[in-house]
Amino acid sequence: MRIAVLTSLYPSPEAPFEGLFAARKWEGMVGRGHDVRITAPLPWAPRILAGLLPADRARVARAPRVETRGGIRVRRPRYLHLPGSGARNAARFAAAGLPLVLEDPSFTPDVVVLDYAWPAAAAAPRLAELGVPVVVNGRGSDVLQVRDVPALRPALARGLAASTAITAVSQDLLDAMGELRVEARPAGPERPRVLTPNGVDGAAFRPGDRAVARARVGEDAGGELVVVIGHLIARKDPLLALRAFHAADRGDARLVFVGRGPLASDLRTEAERLGIGHRVSLAGERPPEELVDWYRAANALLLTSSREGRPNVVLEALSSGCPVLATAAGGTAEVLPDHERMLARTRRPEEIGQMLSDLLDSPPAPDRLRAAVEPLSWAASLDALEALLAGLASRSAETPER
């Protein structure tokens, strides 16, 4: 198959950890013999001024317009992105990406995947007009956050209604996308909805020696260690994790945040205010291959998001035998093996702290945690995606105008 992907989330030399799971998926499809091309439009930023721009904009400015990653050609056209102009920004994103997707004389796609629903779904109506099979894939905030913005919800719903099929990493997301599609086209035909969860590499993420892992990440061998892994942003709510850890009152236990984001300084300030600054560390963003050591080193992973798809960190932690305490957000509950002990249906730090303390007192067996995610392999995920895309491409080939 020839698969064209239009996305706003894909790694680059300047942001190598962004969209890693998307890269894993599409490189896996290349490994199965399919021809995949990625178009990832970026907001315009003057490269010549990269040294004067904020860090995030500087990374965008320096990103190459064309490169080959993992055997896939990645093109990054620029578009005008203006603050407070979400729907128009999405339209400009689509206008920048579609010509590269549709007008490459060397590559006529059998199917187009809009991977990361917003803003890519803005391209679906035009693709539908041209009779191109189009799949919109949801990952989390690209659906759940956008649907709650009145100025953006209708455009997202129209994009989903125009799609040939929808996919998502969790059943919760699939349901939300289906509701939006019906909202835009109540009498429209039923279209395929397929669960294509991210896989977890069980060979890499597996239980290991805690003392060895702590030495590798620079943590003391003794005492309890709780980790929070992910971007330090509002929807991940790391401040709630900090307050819950404080409420757990675990003596000399330590808390480490692994990730970067705008809330880093707020976390340091709040940790000092709570009197636990000496027990809280910010490790920054770490390479993916280092994360397995953090899971092995930890007594528990704490995740306090307000919105989620199906969190990759939960899959990795469980596969590594690390206990998880997560708030009930999105598809998180779909993978946790013990809702009574591992799923917090509250956002009160005192209650989450008590659950964390109970989990640390009596952690589940690592083998039981690992067994919960063993079926979620990358091979199984790619099987589901490949079957859907092959079916759409085959039906399209049988249509005379295609």
Span 332-347, pLDDT tens digits:
999 999 999 999 999 9
pLDDT at 398: 64
Average pLDDT rounded to a whole number, residues 351-362: 98
pLDDT at 154: 96
Q: Which residue has the higher pLDDT, 153 or 401?
A: 153
pLDDT at 350: 98
pLDDT exceeds 50 at position 277: yes
Question: Which residues lie below 8 Å from residue 209, measured CB to CB, with a gap of 6+?
Answer: 296
pLDDT at 52: 64
pLDDT exceeds 90 at position 138: yes
CA distance 8 to 89: 12
pLDDT at 399: 58
Average pLDDT rounded to a whole number, residues 258-284: 97
Rounded to the nearest integer, the mean pLDDT of the chain is: 94
Average pLDDT rounded to a whole number, residues 289-294: 96
Confidence tier at 58 by pLDDT (50, 70, 90) = confident
Dig out the tokens for 1 from the structure: 């198959």
pLDDT exceeds 80 at position 51: no
C-alpha count within 13 angstroms, C-beta hemisphere, residue 5? 26
Confidence tier at 400 by pLDDT (50, 70, 90) = very low
CATH code, 210-373: 3.40.50.2000
pLDDT exceeds 70 at position 50: no
pLDDT at 397: 65
pTM: 0.89
**pLDDT tens per residue, range 225-258:** 999 999 999 999 999 999 999 999 999 999 999 9
The answer to which of 39-48, 78-87, 133-142, 201-210 has the lowest mean pLDDT is: 39-48
CA distance 124 to 161: 9
Average pLDDT rounded to a whole number, residues 10-39: 94
Confidence tier at 39 by pLDDT (50, 70, 90) = very high
Which segments of the chain belong to CATH 3.40.50.2000? Answer: 2-199+378-397, 210-373
pLDDT exceeds 50 at position 402: no
CATH 3.40.50.2000 fits 2-199+378-397, yes or no: yes
